[in-house]
């Protein structure tokens, strides 16, 4: 069964500093990987996704993520964090074998941005 681990429950960074959120996955084949962001009391918004091809993917809001098969990782990065980036971030792995995406989410990393 697929699984996702986000080892950092909570991260605090200063505005303008760089950010990296860690994500490790377990999946038998080439995974479909996603990063979502959730603002308080809101649903989730897709930041970026990886299916195949270039292992460095660009997303919205200046985020990028790199797929590293050897490390089973899909870490999310942003070179300069803005206060509006404070939210909870979820990494997810999808299983497309059933004809549609059945997605397993990690436990999330809460990002706090300080001035």
> Closest distance between another protein and the C-beta of residue 113, in Å?
19
Alpha-helical regions (H) of the chain: none
Instruction: Pick the binder of another protein from 90, 93, 111, 113 (CB under 8 A).
Output: 90
Q: How far apart are CA 93 and CA 46, in angstroms?
A: 13
Binding segment for another protein among 14-22, 23-31, 63-71, 102-110 (CB under 8 A)? 102-110
Greatest Cα pair distance in the chain:
45
Quick check: helix, strand or coil at residue 102? strand
For binding to another protein (CB under 8 A), which residues are involved?
9, 32, 34, 36, 41-46, 49, 51, 90, 94, 96, 99-108
């Amino acid at each position: 069964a697929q699984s996702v681990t986000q080892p950092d429950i909570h991260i605090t960074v200063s505005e303008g500093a760089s950010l990296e959120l860690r994500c490790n996955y377990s999946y038998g084949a080439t995974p479909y990987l996603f990063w979502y962001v959730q603002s308080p009391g809101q649903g989730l918004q897709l930041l970026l996704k990886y299916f195949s091809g270039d292992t460095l993917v660009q997303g919205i809001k200046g985020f990028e993520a790199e797929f590293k098969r050897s490390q089973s990782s899909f870490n999310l990065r942003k070179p300069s964090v803005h206060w509006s980036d404070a939210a909870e971030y979820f990494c997810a792995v999808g299983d497309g074998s059933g004809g549609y995406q059945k997605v397993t989410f990690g436990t999330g990393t809460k990002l706090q941005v300080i001035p």
